[in-house]
Amino acid sequence: MLLMLNYLFFIVMFFFGLIAFVSKRKHLLLMLLSMEFIILSLYGLIFLYLSLYSYEFYFSMMFLVFCVCESVLGLSILVSLIRTHGNDYFFSMNLC
């Protein structure tokens, strides 16, 4: 019963992160924060799953490595966007 509550907690975290991601689509920084929240919930689900079946945690370490790389890439895009345009609004960018 407690294990199901843990899974439910992380699933609810995931959906709240998705709702925040969809609703804050104008600001890049808020989108990055909501993606990190989604990644945190996915990491919790992976960790629970691997510990339930007594698997090794190598996959969770690889997941963390790729998540850190994604975070650094997002922050570098945010910094370059703020340096060139002055803010993190998506509508301030012109494609012309």
Q: Answer for the pair 64, 43: CB distance below 8 angstroms, yes or no.
A: yes
Annotate 55-85 with DSSP letters as a single string: --SHHHHHHHHHHHHHHHHHHHHHHHHHHHH
Mean per-residue pLDDT over the chain, rounded: 89
Domain ranges of the chain: 2-89
Is 2-89 a CATH 3.40.190.10 domain?
A: no
Residues 6 or more apart from 80 whose CB is under 8 A from it? none
* pLDDT tens string 17-56: 999 999 988 888 899 999 999 999 999 999 999 998 888 8
pLDDT of residue 2: 80
Q: Answer for the pair 42, 14: CB distance below 8 angstroms, yes or no.
A: yes
pLDDT of residue 18: 96
